[in-house]
Amino acid sequence: AQSVTQPDIHITVSEGASLELRCNYSYGATPYLFWYVQSPGQGLQLLLKYFSGDTLVQGIKGFEAEFKRSQSSFNLRKPSVHWSDAAEYFCAVGRGGSGYNKLIFGAGTRLAVHP
């Protein structure tokens, strides 16, 4: 069965520091992978996605993620964090196949940014 694990529930970084949020997935076929961000009281905003091709994916707000098939990982990175990046981040894997892309979400990582 598909599953997504985000090992870190909370992460705190200093403003200007680099960031890496971990995501591991379990899926038998080629996965479709997504990162979403949720600010308090808001819906989910798509940061980036991977379907195929280049394994390093660029997203909005200066984020990038790298798909590593051998490690079943899709970690999210940002070289320099801004205070406005404080939010909750969700990794998701899509089933693909026929019909709509059914998403399985991880439990999320809450990011706090210290000034």
Q: In terms of CB distance, is 46 or 56 closer to another protein?
A: 46
| Site membership for another protein, residue 5 (CB under 8 A) | no
For residue 34, state whether it binds another protein (rule: CB under 8 A).
yes
Choose the binding region for another protein from 21-29, 67-75, 78-86, 89-97 (rule: CB under 8 A).
89-97
Residue (of 17, 30, 36) closest to 81 by Cα position: 17
Q: Distance (Å, rounded) from C-alpha 110 to C-alpha 39?
A: 10
SS3 84: helix
Q: Which residues contact 41 (CB under 8 A, 6 or more apart)?
A: none
Binding stretches for another protein (CB under 8 A)? 32, 34, 36, 41-46, 49, 51, 90, 94-103, 105-108
